[in-house]
Structure 1
Amino acid sequence: MDQSRDGATTGPKAPLPAETVSLPARGFTIDRGKALAAAGVLWAIWALMIWLVTQGRTEGFDHSGLLLYRAGIELQPMGGNMLQEAVRDITALGGVLLSTFSACAAIVALLFLRMRREATLFALTVLLGWGLNAAMKLLVGRERPTLVPHLTEAAGYSFPSGHSFASAMIYIGMALAFASLSSRHTVRYTLIGSAMVISIMIAWSRVMLGVHFPSDVIAGWSGGAAWAFTAAALLYEPAKRAADSAAAHGLDPLEHR
């Protein structure tokens, strides 16, 4: 029971009918000029890291980063079991299972919000990004570090870090997609900034676990973030055309209510 201002009690209010609920304003586009500028800086960092690694100029930096969290003759991790578990939890967010699940859930959510353009753009970003990451690994073919004991299983080439690339690409790409819900710059910057912080934490967790050199994760993260911004700018028009197609309308879950 609800109580009015004069003290009288009233019955419970009837629920708002579903057909009167309005979705939030949406469809705002990001500034593609700013996205390309950010991508340019990040691609430059990525290219610099490739040059430094292939020229053998990162050895001191890489070894210092790997030893930063290790102590003793056997180079065991510092911080105790709780810190190790926390680091493993963080790194799991960038693994194939959770990152793919997050990406699929985001696409479904965007479709239910009637944001087919953003859903299509995000899906293209992830699918093409996975191929780009695989090509980048073959480009250098660096083996994983053996300086410190590994605290988790890892296979494949080390450079660039796949966890770092995927987490930056997926979480920043996801933030860019949902940023279209608001025209306020503070909201957009908060979403994108939070995604960048989370993906950086995932990237650095790979160094703490001993399965990647610091240069691996810097290259992986900068490449993944650069691709997320590049795709948001350059794939916008193709995604828009695809989202407006008859096939996309047929996949819209709200078109069949």
Structure 2
Amino acid sequence: MIAGDSPLPAEDVRLPERGFAIDRRKALTVALLCWAGFAAMVYAVTHGLTAGFDERGLLVFRSGPDLAPRGSDLVLESVRDVTALGGVFLRNLFALAAVVALLFLKLRREAMLFAITVIGGWLANTAAKLLVGRDRPQIVPHLTEAGGESFPSGHSFSAAVVYIGMALAFAALSRRHSVRYTLVLGAMALSAMVAWSRVVLGVHFPSDVVAGWLGGAGWAFLAAALLYAPARAAADSAAAARFDAPSGLRKTASAPPR
């Protein structure tokens, strides 16, 4: 702060105005396309149609008789960093932080919808794993610890749910299409990188991560299309009003700046 300047009075801090609601028809269209792809992958895996694709996908990142990973140690460490973004700790930490930030910004509807999206996505992924029950690949050595069923990839599914759902929630802060699409496309790219990292580390077949990403993205868009109304009803209830930002921050965005 420059010497002599006085701090901005708390009553002059203004929260942004909600500027965007998800186009539910577009979200539903994207969701249906993703779920159609997910269903196709389930059919292909359960009918043994992905063996060649899966083997080639795993081997492309390996070399030599011991099937060591391609690239330097720095590349491998970077891949592990990327995969951690879809792990239980960081993924849930970011999700919790996003809910808190949305509540602080008085976007209770978006906070409620995002929370429902994340919880519902976890249930959907767990159900899919139990139904298919695929073992993890043993074609190449694993470069990180992994347990449980392989299909669909939990990292891929959950990363798509959390990061795409988060982007859809925070898109409510802007009226500009370019900003909203950049947020959503960036989240899709980030979650796709998490999915790719699981194949590089050898703990998932390519078909696992393709299905996981499609299923997670499909759930995030489906929730945005179909669950906004119940989330809005819950968020607008008297009980939810307790989570509003402090009264000192409740100046509306329409008030003229000083």
Matching residue of 2:187: 195
Q: Per the alignment, in what secondary structure is the counterpart of residue 246 of structure 1?
A: coil
Q: Describe the superposition over 1:109-143 as per-residue Cα deviations: whole angstroms up to 9, x where unpaired.
A: 00000000000000000011101100000111000
Matching residue of 2:47: 55
Q: In the alignment, is residue 181 of structure 1 matched against residue 180 of structure 2?
A: no
Q: 1:150 aligns with which of 124, 129, 142?
A: 142
Look at both structures and tell me which one has the larger radius of gyration over its CA atoms: 1
TM-score, reference length from structure 1:
0.94
Q: Which amino acid aligns with 2:4?
A: P
Work out the CA distance in 1 between the residues paired with 2:37 and 2:145.
28
Q: Which amino acid aligns with 2:212?
A: G
Gaps of 5+ in 2: 250-258
Work out the CA distance in 2 between the residues paired with 1:118 and 1:45.
27
Matching residue of 1:229: 221
Work out the CA distance in 1 between the residues paired with 2:93 and 2:8.
32
Work out the CA distance in 1 between the residues paired with 2:75 and 2:229.
45
Does the 8 A contact of 1:249 with 1:255 survive in 2?
Answer: no
Matching residue of 2:234: 242
Q: CA deviation at 1:26?
A: 1.3
Work out the CA distance in 2 between the residues paired with 1:256 and 1:247.
20
Matching residue of 1:254: 246
Q: CA deviation at 1:14?
A: 1.7
Q: 2:155 aligns with which of 163, 167, 182?
A: 163
Q: 1:139 aligns with which of 118, 131, 144?
A: 131
Q: CA deviation at 1:253?
A: 4.5
Matching residue of 1:82: 74
Q: Per the alignment, in what secondary structure is the counterpart of residue 152 of structure 1?
A: coil
Work out the CA distance in 2 between the residues paired with 1:216 and 1:86.
21
Matching residue of 2:112: 120
TM-score, reference length from structure 2:
0.94
Q: 1:214 aligns with which of 187, 193, 206?
A: 206
Matching residue of 1:14: 6
Work out the CA distance in 2 between the residues paired with 1:92 and 1:132.
21
Work out the CA distance in 2 between the residues paired with 1:255 and 1:176.
27
Work out the CA distance in 2 between the residues paired with 1:168 and 1:199.
5
Q: CA deviation at 1:80?
A: 1.8
Does the 8 A contact of 1:27 with 1:115 survive in 2?
Answer: no
Aligned pairs for 1:21-40 within 5 A: 21-40=13-32
Matching residue of 2:253: none
Matching residue of 1:7: none
Q: CA RMSD in A?
A: 1.5
Identity %: 63
Q: CA deviation at 1:75?
A: 0.4
Q: CA deviation at 1:13?
A: 2.5
Does the 8 A contact of 1:125 with 1:231 survive in 2?
Answer: yes
